[in-house]
């Protein structure tokens, strides 16, 4: 007897998986047992909880761009579905399906954290609950689940949060689009995209919370509660001390670095942009870098002199002008110089380089709480080369316009 074709085996495997999901839904949520239907009459198998008038909430695997994802879809076009990666545990999928279905049955809002497409309570879901209760529109929450869909339903695009985005909440204000992030190294960051100037700006959290501008981006999680962050946000754009980046700051790599890993250790010493653009002069470059560092939240950097172009009471700013990528020993040496530069306490290190950095050197820089930035000398743009510097960067995308609609 010949072995069944691969597509037949795959279809049978999906059938068994959906039967397992059906049983898990019945076991975990017997209150909807009479409404549960598993439909395998067509190629798009799905598990659904029926509502009324032929409407239902559905769990199915959906192809979106180049990926297949799990979607919990409300009936018709009157709601946004939850999007989950294929490796999501079965119990999370059926709990998400039940949460949406039970809300439709009772006529109430989907319970938190499921309403935010998250399976566990977190700082981000707590913040979203507080903001929503005060009438602000929370557009996206990323904590455990970084997958979502954007744009109109018939042309939706898959959006997966990046590894350096951390946990975040995106909130829509009348005059700005705000991302509140909780980064592993830096803590709380609040960035606002202002459509009038088409640029991101960073909120001075230290100034708003305690009346003191902090020397580095971010507020440690333990220093500010979720409620304090929510209170600050509700004051609105006019109350924030916003440093808007209208210069060349960006978080994406220049074209000639695109696709390279954080280490950049595959670059040879002669790697350089070859598009014919001239390099900025020393003063132009210093001004561009200083403006970006200030906008990113380095609160005590200032213009220096010819020997020390950028000064700071907290950081030792080192310009690395060699073509060779930064090695661990070189970063250790520069970190020692930074420590010695402090008059009473050691300074921390900021490195500005036109080269790359090895992975071990980037790891050491993170351990030393240093920031290493690549500087494009033709534009002055900064790009983080270690994880701490990347965390300090701007959100990588421009917010979608309101008229693009929800998924």
Q: Please report the pLDDT score of residue 365 as a whole number.
A: 97
For residue 294, cis peptide bond before it (omega within 30 degrees of 0): no
- Residue 195 has a pLDDT of 82
How do the pLDDT tens digits run along the chain, 407 residues long? Answer: 555 665 556 677 787 989 999 999 999 999 999 999 998 877 778 899 999 888 999 999 998 878 899 999 988 766 788 999 999 999 999 999 999 999 999 999 999 999 999 999 999 999 999 999 999 999 999 999 999 988 666 667 888 888 788 899 999 988 889 999 999 999 999 999 988 888 889 999 999 999 999 999 999 999 999 999 999 999 988 888 776 655 554 444 443 333 334 333 333 333 344 455 678 888 999 999 999 999 999 999 999 888 889 999 999 999 998 889 999 999 999 999 999 998 889 999 999 999 999 999 999 999 999 999 999 989 999 999 999 999 999 987 777 654 444 33
The phi, psi pair for 359, rounded to 5°, reads: -60, -45
**How deeply is 12 buried, as exposed, middle or buried, from its count of CB atoms within 10 A (0-12, 13-18, 19+)?**
exposed
Residue 311: strand pairing partners: 302
Look-up: residue for tokens 């060699």?
Answer: 322
Q: What is the DSSP letter of 104?
A: H
Distance CA 224, CA 231 (A): 11
Q: How far apart are CA 373 and CA 381, in angstroms?
A: 9
Helix, strand, coil shares of the chain, percent, nearest 5, are 35, 25, 45
Angle at 324 between CA 295 and CA 315, to 5 degrees: 35
- Give the pLDDT of residue 259: 31
Q: What is the pLDDT of residue 263?
A: 38
Cα separation, 107 vs 229, in Å, equals 31
At 9 the pLDDT is 63
What are 112's two structure tokens? 């938190």
In the chain, domain spans: 1-111, 118-246, 255-391
Q: What is the per-residue burial (b if ≥16 Cβ within 10 Å, else e) of 96-113?
A: bbbbbbbbbbeeeebebb
What pTM did the predictor assign? 0.85
């Amino acid at each position: 007897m010949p072995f069944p074709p691969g597509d037949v085996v795959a279809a049978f495997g999906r059938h068994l998986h959906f039967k397992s999901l059906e049983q898990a839904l019945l076991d975990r949520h017997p209150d909807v047992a009479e409404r549960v239907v598993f439909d395998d009459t067509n190629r798009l198998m799905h598990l659904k909880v029926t509502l009324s008038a032929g409407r239902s909430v559905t769990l199915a695997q959906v192809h979106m761009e180049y990926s297949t994802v799990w979607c919990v879809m409300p009936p018709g076009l009157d709601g946004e579905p939850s999007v989950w990666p294929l490796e999501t545990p079965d119990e999370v999928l059926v709990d998400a399906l039940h949460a949406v279905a039970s809300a439709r049955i009772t006529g109430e809002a989907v319970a938190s954290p499921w309403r935010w497409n998250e399976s566990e309570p977190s700082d981000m879901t707590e913040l979203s609950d507080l903001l929503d209760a005060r009438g602000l529109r929370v557009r996206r929450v990323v904590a455990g689940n970084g997958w979502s869909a954007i744009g109109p339903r018939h042309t939706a695009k898959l959006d997966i949060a990046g590894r350096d985005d951390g946990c975040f909440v995106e909130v829509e204000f009348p005059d700005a689009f705000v991302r509140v992030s909780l980064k592993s190294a830096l803590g709380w960051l609040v960035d606002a995209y202002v459509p009038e100037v088409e640029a991101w700006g960073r909120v001075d959290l230290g100034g708003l919370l305690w009346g003191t501008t902090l020397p580095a981006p971010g507020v440690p999680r333990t220093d500010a509660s979720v409620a304090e962050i929510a209170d600050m946000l509700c004051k609105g754009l006019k109350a924030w001390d916003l440093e808007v980046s209208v210069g060349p700051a960006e978080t994406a790599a220049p074209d000639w670095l695109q696709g390279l890993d954080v280490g950049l250790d595959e670059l040879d010493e002669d790697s350089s942009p070859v598009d014919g653009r001239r390099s900025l002069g020393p003063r132009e470059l210093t001004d561009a870098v200083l403006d970006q560092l200030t906008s990113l939240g380095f609160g005590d950097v200032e213009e220096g002199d010819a020997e020390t172009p950028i000064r700071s009471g907290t950081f030792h700013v080192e310009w690395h002008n060699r073509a060779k990528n930064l090695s661990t020993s070189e970063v250790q040496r520069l970190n020692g110089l930074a420590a010695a530069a402090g008059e009473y306490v050691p300074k921390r290190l900021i490195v500005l380089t036109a080269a790359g950095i090895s992975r071990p050197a980037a790891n050491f820089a993170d351990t030393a709480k240093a920031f290493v930035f690549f500087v494009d000398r033709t534009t002055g743009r900064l790009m983080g080369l270690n994880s701490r510097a990347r965390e300090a960067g701007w959100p990588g995308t421009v917010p979608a316009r309101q008229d693009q609609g929800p998924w």
